[in-house]
A and B are shown apart, each in its own frame.
Chain A
Amino acid sequence: DTAVSQTPKYLVTQMGNDKSIKCEQNLGHDTMYWYKQDSKKFLKIMFSYNNKELIINETVPNRFSPKSPDKAHLNLHINSLELGDSAVYFCASTPRGANTGELFFGEGSRLTVL
């Protein structure tokens, strides 16, 4: 059973297009995150939701819009894709009461913008 699952695992698209990545966790966790990992392996937080409520919104272009329909799902929509958006996007979750550093990551979604 996959604990944190992301789809799709790979996206290749042209500049200017819009794309979405979906994330689901079956761990019963309350908090979910989106992280971006660039080509130098630097992992940076983008957004965090706690039980559907946005709690962390880093300095991310407003072309990126997260959406959490329920506490088990966190999706990421990206408008007007740019070359610099190419990266691996990781969804993660953590249970209620746990230290926010104890993350369970999905397998990642590799986005390539041409």
Chain B
Amino acid sequence: QKEVEQNSGPLSVPEGAIASLNCTYSDRGSQSFFWYRQYSGKSPELIMFIYSNGDKEDGRFTAQLNKASQYVSLLIRDSQPSDSATYLCAVTLNQGGKLIFGQGTELSVKP
């Protein structure tokens, strides 16, 4: 089982819709969860982090964490074509504090 798993996509949504990106992780003791956005040919950039169960909102982005289910998600409301990118879920392992990335979900927002 991979330590962090995401659907690779591509996920295609129309402009203005809600994009839902999902991630599961295997280390039950993980404490910190991150979403990075990577445009094609560019470097990853941190867009959200969440440490506690529940929802965390930042503008059009909402991160959701459910530690019991070992599940973290990212919702993007009012999706824009400029949101088209690969979204990487990352989890800090309980032991050693290493950051482990999922394989990323490619999101395409169609005008």
Contact = CB atoms under 8 A, between A and B. Distances in A.
Interface of A: 40-45, 48, 56, 90, 99-108
Interface of B: 8, 32-34, 38, 42-46, 49, 86, 88, 90-92, 96-101, 103-104
Nearest to B90: A101
Contacts of A101: 32-34, 46, 49, 90-92, 99
Nearest to A105: B43
Contacts of B96: 56
B21 to A, nearest CB: 14
A99 to B, nearest CB: 5
A41 B46 CA distance: 16
A103 B46 contact: yes
**Chain B at the A interface: SS class:** strand
A101 B33 CA distance: 8
A103 to B, nearest CB: 7
5 contacts: A44-B101, A56-B98, A101-B32, A101-B99, A105-B45
Contacts of A106: 43
Contact of B92 (A40, A99, A105, A107): A99
B101 A99 contact: no
Q: Lowest 8 CB-CB distances: which A-B pairs, in order?
A: A105-B43, A43-B101, A101-B34, A41-B104, A100-B97, A101-B99, A101-B92, A42-B103
Contacts of A107: 42-43
A8 B10 CA distance: 31
B42 A45 contact: no
Residue from the set B33, B91, B100, B101 with the largest chain A CB neighbour count within 10 Å:
B101
A55 B42 CA distance: 27
Residue from the set B8, B88, B99 with the largest chain A CB neighbour count within 10 Å:
B99
